[in-house]
Amino acid sequence: MSSTSLTTGRSWRPSLPRRHVPVLATLALLLVMYGIGVSQYRAFSNIQVVFNVFIDNGFLLVVAVGMTFVILTGGIDLSVGSVVAMTAMVSASLLRDGLPAALVLVIALLIGPTLGFLMGCAIHFFEIQPFIVTLAGMFFARGMCTFISDSSISITDGFWTSMSQQRIGDPAGNFVSISVLIAFAVVLIAAYVLAYTRFGRNVYAVGGNAQSALLMGLPVARTRIAVYTISGLCSAIGGILLSFYTLSGAPLIAVGMELDVIAAVVIGGTVLTGGSGYVFGTVLGVLVLGVIQTLITFDGSLNSWWTKIVIGGLLFAFILLQRLIGIRFK
Amino acid sequence: MTAVAARLRPLTGHRLFWPALVLVVMLAANTVYRPGFLAVEVKNGHLYGTPIDILRLSAPLILVALGMTLVIATGGIDLSVGSLCAISGAIACLHISGAADQNSPATVATALALAFGAALVLGAWNGVLVAVMGFEPIIATLILMVAGRGIAQLVTEGQIITINSGPYRAIGLGHFLTLPLAILIALAAALLVAAFTRRTALGLIVESVGGNAEASRLAGIRSRRIVFLVYVISAACAALAGFMVTANVSSADGNAAGLWIELDAILAVVIGGTSLAGGRFSLGGTVLGALIIQTLTTTVYAMNISPQTSLLFKAVVVIAVCLVQAPAFRARLRRRRRGTEPGPAAPQREKEQVPA
């Protein structure tokens, strides 16, 4: 199977493939919003503003990449926010107990995928809806957070603080944190896996039509379980990045994050019924959310709840767009 | 042994058997742990006791879950109910707090009408998105779930609106005929929905739309109208629940009111045996499911475990109940137990697409 697109010839317009339109629309929206910001606020054109969007949303980006895999197969993962919090919590408490940083990293990175693997098994073998299974996963992970500690634990470990404070930048004073580089690495690996590997093709095939994929002899079980494991891994990485960012683990951090993540993926042009979407779109979706927050912060007179209303409005606009373009939609 | 099993089969095969068993086991475990658990006493002409508390606190969840049951029966899902609770509560409290006499029944009635009307409009918005524009239900209602919290905070301007209104408070904490008013409202709503769906053809129509919307349309059912209707009903139920939640604390908090109630409601529906794929529903199961969730919460509080940690227990119960009811899991168990018994032809419903 080649890596070129599998669309049939008739619906294919050579100039602009229809499946690219949502991503391009997101890109246009992002540019327009950035343009508005630059024209309204002088400080907005500072390149550091862009870097800050990445620094503040690096963990969101990583988690959204994992969610993209799950949504591409037509599933959903509600547990991501809680798994992020649980990972941060576990790392903080283990570090407080004096474990070496490397060991803590390994343990923290194993918890998320394990939970994801178990959820994937429950979804595939027992045919329980992903919504319910990952909801239980969300409850479990959030419960574990408070089980570990009722209050937030600060991190004083040397490795963590150096990762948190390390600035990589130019002499002009613009910088990014290490978290941003990790997030970029995750994005690149995910984009490569989805576009150029057999596994990536399987993900699209299962999302397009699981029954057909099964009849074609594709490993549906393995793919389905793998995407939830990947989502768990991405949540775990996101949790580590969040603990770098806040230098603490708090039981109620990242509550409701799954909604932001799903919104980012949808705004990025991935269809919720699966089978169509790109990691690059997800990156744009996260950036749109980040720029909205930055705009509202710059404005100062708008209140934080406008963020939610605007995100809701954007969700509506983008689904309407997908509907109008007529991408495979049930 | 087999004779007993055979005699019990009609009972264990009933769709409400497992949820009812879970509820009974939880109540029994509570009674063992705390002998006074089931005691109900009369004080000032009102009934008091833990069972009454469970009933009273589960009222908002029962209401939301009733609407959710109908939505899920059509193969949809309504994520926006929590936000609708917050919006309706916020509008009602805002109107009452601005009135000269907060205790006047007219003020409260106007407030309730305003908030109820707003909720119906938002429910109609959901209905239009799903039924007319053909959006995926989970994403159509996600819009209002995200934006609705913002709207609720917009209404309260980010503050917590406190009110001091006797009639409004009564919705959450009042008593009528020795029983809490809240549970009577929930009961009335349940009976009303049951009467309309099970004593008329409406329930059958809802199930047929959930089974196959296109086939129902060809059979002469106005599928779109039914789908639109269930989202409006769900919003109406959410509004009532919102009044109760805010009346319980006499204040409206755009952020916290009805937070995660949509997830609990979906759980209640699923625990009650309604399939998320749509096509059939059980109102009795939903009420049982809501009672199970509230009993679990109360149990955990009584054991002095922090509310957040109670989520751990919830996760275990959810997975256990769902596994027991999952046809795939039961088939696996049966195969392992005895290879010979074909088992009572499990009503395995094959559907191509399940939401989410």
End-to-end CA, chain B: 42
Q: Where are the domains of chain A?
A: 18-325
Residues of B in contact with A315 (CB under 8 A): 139, 142-143, 146-147
Confidence (pTM): 0.84
Residues of B in contact with A211 (CB under 8 A): 352
Give me the CATH number covering residue B89: 1.10.3470
CA nearest neighbour of A90 among A76, A104, A71, A100? A104
Q: 176-235 in A: which are within 8 Å (CB) of B?
A: 211
B215 has a pLDDT exceeding 70: yes
The answer to the question of residue B95 being in a domain is yes
Higher-pLDDT residue of B164 and B37 is B164
The answer to the question of residue B275 being in a domain is yes
Q: What proportion of chain B, given as a percentage, has pLDDT over 90?
A: 31
Q: Label residue B118 by pLDDT band (50, 70, 90).
A: very high
Q: B4 to chain A nearest CA, in Å?
A: 28
Higher-pLDDT residue of B16 and A114 is A114
Q: Which of A255-259, A304-308, B109-113, B346-350 has the lowest mean pLDDT?
A: B346-350
DSSP-derived letter for residue A20 is: G
B107 has a pLDDT exceeding 70: yes
CB contact under 8 A, A142 and B353: no
According to the model, what pLDDT value does residue B123 have? 96
The mean pLDDT value for B339-354 works out to: 45
The answer to the question of residue B355 being in a domain is no
According to the model, what pLDDT value does residue B117 have? 96
Q: What proportion of chain A, given as a percentage, has pLDDT over 70?
A: 94
CB contact under 8 A, B148 and A312: yes
The answer to the question of residue B342 being in a domain is no
According to the model, what pLDDT value does residue A315 have? 86
Total of domains in chain B: 1
Q: Which residue among A125, A262, A312 sits closest to B144, beta carbon to beta carbon?
A: A312
Most confident of A321-325, B47-51, B287-291: B287-291
Q: B178 to chain A nearest CA, in Å?
A: 36
CB contact under 8 A, B133 and A323: yes
According to the model, what pLDDT value does residue A170 have? 75
The answer to the question of residue B6 being in a domain is no
CB contact under 8 A, A259 and B148: no
The mean pLDDT value for B236-264 works out to: 88
**Is any Cβ of chain B less than 8 angstroms from the Cβ of A316?**
yes
- Euclidean distance between CA atoms B224 and B134, whole angstroms: 9
The parent domain of residue B254 ranges over 51-325
Q: Label residue B13 by pLDDT band (50, 70, 90).
A: low
**Is any Cβ of chain B less than 8 angstroms from the Cβ of A266?**
yes
Test the B interface: residue of A145, A316, A329 with most B CBs within 10 Å: A316
The residue in chain A having the minimum alpha-carbon distance to the alpha carbon of residue B130 is A330
Q: What is the DSSP string of B117-153?
A: HHHHHHHHHHHIIIIIS---HHHHHHHHHHHHHHHHH
DSSP-derived letter for residue B43 is: E
Q: Which of A15-19, A93-97, B25-29, B71-75 has the lowest mean pLDDT?
A: A15-19
Tokens of B79: 């994520």
B235 has a pLDDT exceeding 60: yes
CB contact under 8 A, B353 and A143: no
A54 has a pLDDT exceeding 50: yes
The answer to the question of residue B285 being in a domain is yes
**Is any Cβ of chain B less than 8 angstroms from the Cβ of A121?**
no
- Euclidean distance between CA atoms B58 and B96, whole angstroms: 25
Q: Which of A311-325, B144-158, B321-335 has the lowest mean pLDDT?
A: B321-335
Higher-pLDDT residue of B273 and A216 is A216
Q: Which residue among A128, A211, A259 sits closest to B326, beta carbon to beta carbon?
A: A128
- Euclidean distance between CA atoms A163 and A176, whole angstroms: 11
Tokens of B340: 């010979």
A330 has a pLDDT exceeding 90: no
Number of cross-chain residue pairs from A and B with Cβ atoms under 8 Å apart: 148
According to the model, what pLDDT value does residue B220 have? 86
Handedness of CA B18, B19, B22, B23 (dihedral sign): negative
B81 has a pLDDT exceeding 90: yes
The residue in chain B having the minimum alpha-carbon distance to the alpha carbon of residue A211 is B352
Q: A9 to chain B nearest CA, in Å?
A: 27
The answer to the question of residue B349 being in a domain is no
According to the model, what pLDDT value does residue B128 have? 94
Q: A171 to chain B nearest CA, in Å?
A: 41
CA B190 to chain centre: 10
Test the B interface: residue of A118, A293, A308, A328 with most B CBs within 10 Å: A308
A185 has a pLDDT exceeding 80: yes
